[in-house]
Copies of this chain bind each other. A is one copy, B any other.
């Protein structure tokens, strides 16, 4: 909520999201003379891909990112193994919706609480109606009527019937309910045309849940059906895994507030909005803090106070340059590792555990498309760990690529696409745009991420690729 304007001291949004992979990688015709520049120029980092390697562009020097490049899995593993599982909390059942049950809910009650008719009919003694037929019906005296909700206990003896509605208490002495349509429907005397087996159409107390048995287990996601069951066993509160509190902050001297008209070189802060929405979508209680202040002391205060009130800090903005103020202040709060992760878009990602309580802090790139991709890859699974979920990752499917896909060798590439069901079964996926620019408008049209593995440089049209549907509703 606090703007810091563009004072020019902090280099900002510096990602490689916007690379034109189709033109910039060796796997495609490069409109450049041979020998191909990527092959001809010695590349210190050992990268295979011209367009990804930024170490050659001075300044900042390559030394600004001291750690060697690491794989997506390595970075993800580091995050997932370090995020804590917050302690369970007790919530009102309706507030527990969407969370995981964190206790073994043992019912103190029987469900149903009393023997009851399972349908409308007559409660009778099975013995009295045994062998009845339409030709030779059993004739019984109707001694009363019970509807659901009436509490007066009743009873029958031999030769008697009691009219009952579904859900009504079974009169003492009765052991079966004869469905109304098996009778003549009499009100004083009833003719029963068939005798059900003893116990038929009777719901016994505890049939659904017996006292002392578990109604809802630890780890069960609480949806409407679980809320129904919890309420039925008398629980208005339940222990659950809480939503992790995620503070979302943006870094970058080029950033201005959404309501401000950006001046030359300035960019509106979109990441604090988009990442807060994504965090909420993943199950977190997300707070959008906004643009980090440019003043050192104030910056330090903001970060410290957010560390105190959050389970996870999420910062967007590339901070991997020398002399970056945010990076410096983070370093004062604890060990923060900036890494070149072999992914595209990316590649600069960071993770650390800072402050007195070692709160996990994840930094994602400042370029908005790269920020949301990094969220999918690293942050969403981390939030799900904190929620106690077993299924951390989105389901992926194999889909037929509608077009040729190119990808830099050694980098895992995430492309936005439109996945559709194939008329003959399975899925087809179409990458959005020309694969060159990382565009917000294209991302907004996507319904999936296409994942091209590190060792693949080309997927032919008609070939199979891995697709991660994003399930944004509609």
Contact = CB atoms under 8 A, between A and B. Distances in A.
Interface of A: 6, 8, 10-20, 23-24, 30-33, 35-38, 40-41, 43, 47, 50-51, 53-59, 93-94, 97-98, 109, 111-114, 118-122, 131-134, 145, 147-153, 163, 165-169, 179-183, 185-187, 193-197, 200-201, 203, 207-209, 215-216, 220-221, 223-232, 234-236, 252-255, 258-259, 261-271, 273-278, 280-281, 288, 321, 367-368, 372, 375, 389-391, 437, 439-444, 446, 470, 472-474
A163 B12 contact: no
A271 B232 CA distance: 9
A10 B207 contact: no
Interface centre among A59, A121, A187 (most CB of B within 10 A): A59
Contacts of A10: 149
A371 to B, nearest CB: 8
A199 to B, nearest CB: 10
Contacts of A195: 32-33
B472 A221 contact: yes
Contacts of A267: 112-113, 148-149, 167
A58 B41 CA distance: 93
A435 to B, nearest CB: 13
Nearest to A146: B265
A186 B11 CA distance: 20
Given A20-B200, A59-B163, A259 B234 contact: yes
Contact of A181 (B6, B41, B134, B183): B41
Contact of A277 (B149, B224, B321): B224
Contacts of A185: 56-58
Nearest to A99: B473
Nearest to A97: B277
A23 to B, nearest CB: 6
A390 B474 contact: yes
Contacts of A38: 181-182
Contact of A120 (B57, B120, B131, B215): B57
Nearest to A436: B118
A22 to B, nearest CB: 11
A290 to B, nearest CB: 11
Nearest to A416: B225
B151 A441 contact: no
B20 A201 contact: yes
A88 B296 CA distance: 43
21 contacts: A20-B118, A23-B196, A41-B134, A54-B166, A54-B180, A56-B179, A56-B185, A57-B185, A58-B180, A58-B186, A94-B273, A97-B281, A118-B437, A149-B266, A151-B264, A153-B264, A207-B437, A223-B281, A227-B274, A228-B271, A232-B368
Contacts of A53: 180-181
Contacts of A109: 261-262
Interface centre among A14, A133, A149, A221 (most CB of B within 10 A): A149
Contact of A163 (B37, B58, B112, B179): B58
A98 B208 CA distance: 36
